[in-house]
Structure formats: structure tokens, C-alpha cells
Amino acid sequence: MDVRPDRQTGLFLRLLRFPLVFLALLYAVLTYLYLSAFFFRTSFTSGPIEAIGATLMACAMMLIVYVSLGTLVEERSVTELAVPRMGREFGLGLLLGFGLYSLCILILMVLGAYRVEGLNAWHILLPGMAAPMATGVFEELLFRGGVFRIAEKWLGSWIALILSSLIFGFIHMENDAATLQGLTSISIWAGLLLTGTYMLTRRLWLGMGLHAAWNYTQGTVYSGIVSGNEPATPGLIRSSMQGPAWLTGGSFGVEASLVALLVCSTAGIGLLVAAARRGNVIRPSWDRQM
């Protein structure tokens, strides 16, 4: 009997399961879907409803692809996208993202750095939903669901946290006004905070909601610079920022500020402590085998 096709299939699957190969595949497919949605929104849509619809479709496709790769290639149950607690955790993430960024702005206002100069029309809030939603889903699937989860399986939670945080932070170096201060800042606080949401719940919904709401609140509500990228349109609140770059974040935005570093790192550490108390910290593979 000729069994070569089965052996070839097995070899192919083992190759796809190799961590770097699998991450490259995940990155390529998710990036294609993410950029396709961006291209469709900017080139073909005529209004905010169509743009949000295109984003929702892209998000659904990214989720389907992620689950399919986990099921067919990794041959595992994709528990990090379990449906029963999806709405509750995603909604809590939205509140957390809005609240943390608003707290940073409030502190900057008290310090005299952030000044409100007026309001724009409320309907600005609608079209600004599309991009943050797509980014929240895309980056959490890739960096927490992909990089952190796979690294954690081999290296343990703490080493995976450091590695995935650095990759997540410095992948923003191609942004228009990226700075070393900004890249270092989001590597620290965003790594702690977003990885903390995953370690606490062992699901991605909380982080997706937080990530999307943070970006939306930053650009569409408070008219801030998002990770070194000026918003395409003004936000609801017309504002100005004055002060040294270490305080305001400079050209990278509030994400690079000392305020965001302190506020969000504190929240992230709190999530990690709670995760450790739940027993959700994984030891390195070599330690588990002893």
C-alpha cells in the first residue's frame, strides 16, 4: 500500500505548526484581511455606515480565519474565542479603554497640559468607529492570540510577556511620527495591560474591547495622535496640548507620556497580579518537565 500522501500531509502540517511558520502564516492572512478592509473603506465606501459594515465583515473574517487555523492546523480547541462570555468581556473592555484614556486626559488637564478649546459636531463620532474596531481585533488576534500564546507555551508567561511586548511596541516604528520614547512606552504599559487582559481571562475579548476603545477615545473623542499617526479627521473635542514631550508624549501622542505609562502600567500590573492569583501563570516548558 502506498502511504506517501499521508506522510506528506503529516509533514506539511508539522511544518505549518512550527511556531515561526505558523506565526508568519497568521500574520500574512490577518494582515491581508485587515488591509483589505482599510482599502475598501477608503476607496469604495460613501458613508460611515458602509465603512462600519466593511469593518465588521473584515473582523468576522479575521475571527473565522483565526479559529480555522487553530482548529485545522494546530488541531486544538480555540478557547480564547469562546462565545459564552464574549459580550460581557468585550463590553467591559470598551469601558476600561475609555476610562483609562479619559483618566490620562483628566490628569493632563489638571497639570495644564491638555486644554479643551471647543466641540465639533457629534456625528463625527460615528465614522471614527471603523478603524479602531478593526485594529483592536487584528492586533489582539496577532499579538496576544498569536505571539504571546505560542511563546508562552514554550517560554512561560513572563518571558513571553517581555518578548511579545517588545515586538508589539517596536512594530509601530514605521508609524509617521514614531519616537524611541513612544515605542518604549507602549512596549511597557501596553504590553502589561493587554497581556494582562488575556492572562486574567484566558480569552481575547476583553483585550479587543480595551484596545478598540482606547484608540477610538484617543483619536475620535479627544482628537489625540494615535501611536504617532495624526487622525484623518478631527475628533469631537477640539483641543491643544502643551508641555514637554516626557509629559505629553510629543509627536507620538499621549501613549508616549509619563502619565499613560504610570496609569496603564498600574492597571496592567493589577491584572497580572489577579491572573497570578487565579493560577493563570504558565511556567517555562523546561521547568514543567522537571
* Phi-psi map region of 75: left, alpha, beta (phi>0 left; psi -120 to 50 alpha): left
Q: What SS3 state is found at 3?
A: coil
Does the pLDDT of residue 177 top 90, yes or no?
Answer: no
Does the pLDDT of residue 4 top 60, yes or no?
Answer: no
The pLDDT tens digits for 152-170 are 999 999 999 999 999 999 9
The pLDDT tens digits for 210-241 are 999 999 999 999 988 888 787 667 889 998 89
pLDDT, greater one: 134 or 38 = 134
**Widest Cα–Cα separation across the chain:** 79
pLDDT, greater one: 251 or 80 = 80
**Which triple of cell numbers denotes residue 237?**
473635542
For the chain, counts of helices (H) and of strands (E): 12, 2
List Cβ neighbours of 253 (8 Å cut-off, separation of 6 or more): 182, 218, 224, 225, 226, 227, 228
Of residues 69, 88, 70, the one with CA closest to residue 79: 70
Of residues 191, 208, 192, the one with CA closest to residue 91: 208
In whole angstroms, give the CA distance from residue 22 to residue 154.
Answer: 14
The pLDDT tens digits for 120-131 are 888 888 888 888
The pLDDT tens digits for 46-91 are 677 888 888 999 999 999 999 999 999 999 999 999 999 999 999 9
The fraction of the chain above a pLDDT of 70, given in percent, is: 94
Q: Domain residue spans in the chain?
A: 82-288
Does the pLDDT of residue 2 top 60, yes or no?
Answer: no
Does the pLDDT of residue 140 top 50, yes or no?
Answer: yes
In whole angstroms, give the CA distance from residue 79 to residue 65.
Answer: 15
pTM above 0.75, yes or no: yes
For residues 143 and 164, the answer to whether their CB atoms sit within 8 Å is yes
